[in-house]
Structures are given as C-alpha cells and as structure tokens.
C-alpha cells in the first residue's frame, strides 16, 4: 500500500454507531484460538440485544468457542456511494445458546449446506469501530493478481 502523504481522517465510532453499522451488514470474520494457533472464519451474524449471534455446527469453530477463550468478530462495509468505509470489532466471550434459553427472535441462516444447528452468542467485553473516507484509487496499489469475471479459481 502506498503510505506516502497525509491519510484520510479516521473517526472513532460511538458504541451506538458500532451497533448501527453491525446491523447494516450480515457477514463478518470470527477470529478464535484453536490448538494454540489463530484461526479466522467467515460467519453470517445478527446483532441481538447487545450481543451478536451466529449459527455453526461441529468442528474447529465450535470447539474453539466452547473452550471459553476470548473471540473477536470483525465486520466492515461501505456507504452506498463507496466513498466512506467503516470497520467494527467485537471482542468478547462466545457461548452456545442452550436449549430453553431465550433464543433470539431471528437467527441467521447458514450459507453453506450441512448441519449448522448450534446458535452461538458473543457477549461483548469491548466494542470499537472506526470510519474513514476512502482515498482515490491512485493512492493505493491494485491487487497483484486481479480476478477477472469468468476467471476460474
């Protein structure tokens, strides 16, 4: 990235603004520690009364959640014009929603097929966010190998 010259002004978001932005998106990245190593997973999520919920099934993600170690969820987005970006970070502890607990009125639907029957709730210990104006493309480098429409992965 070209870092020469003054950058855009960064605005720290209030807690209220963080929640507003989290409600405007539905996909984030969940960071966990698994077997003493960091792992990151895309998740679709929903804010729910001061917490964030997502759906998962058996595997590395659930094992890490059940370990009781702290987790981090990061989500970001753009305004409708693509000129202002935002990023929100939710740090906290995640726990499986137990049967009989107050399940949320809505639950995110999984994108991937398979058993994703376990709801997980992240209770934030820290919620931070920032917003900034996106610089013109001439100020940052293009991808090293851009993907073109129709290109096979």
Q: In the chain, count of helices (H) and strands (E)?
A: 2, 7
% pLDDT > 70, the chain: 81
In a domain, 108, yes or no: yes
Task: Look at the chain and report how many structural domains it folds into.
Answer: 1
In a domain, 22, yes or no: yes
Grade residue 117 by pLDDT with cuts at 50, 70 and 90. confident
HSE, CB side, 13 Å, CA atoms: give it for residue 97: 23
**Residue 38 sits in which domain range?**
10-134
- The tens digit of pLDDT for each residue in 75-109 reads 999 988 888 999 999 999 999 988 766 667 677 77
pLDDT over 60 (residue 4): no
Q: Confirm whether 4 is domain-assigned.
A: no
In terms of pTM, does the model score above 0.75? yes
- Domain CATH for 26: 2.30.110.10
The answer to whether 91 and 15 have CB atoms below 8 angstroms apart is no
Q: How far apart are CA 124 and CA 12, in angstroms?
A: 18
SS3 44: strand
């Amino acid at each position: 990235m070209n870092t020469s010259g003054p950058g855009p002004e960064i605005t720290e978001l209030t807690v209220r603004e963080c929640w507003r932005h989290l409600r405007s998106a539905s996909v984030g990245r969940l960071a966990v520690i698994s077997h003493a190593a960091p792992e990151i997973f895309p998740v679709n999520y929903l804010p729910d009364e001061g917490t964030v919920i997502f759906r998962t099934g058996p595997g590395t993600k659930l094992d890490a959640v059940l370990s009781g170690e702290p987790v981090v969820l990061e989500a970001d987005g753009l305004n409708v014009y693509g000129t202002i970006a935002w990023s929100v970070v939710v740090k906290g502890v995640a726990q499986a929603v137990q049967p009989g607990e107050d399940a949320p009125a809505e639950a995110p639907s999984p994108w991937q097929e398979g058993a994703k029957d376990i709801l997980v709730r992240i209770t934030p210990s820290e919620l931070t966010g920032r917003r900034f104006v996106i610089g013109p493309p001439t100020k940052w480098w293009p991808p090293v190998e851009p993907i073109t429409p129709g290109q096979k992965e």
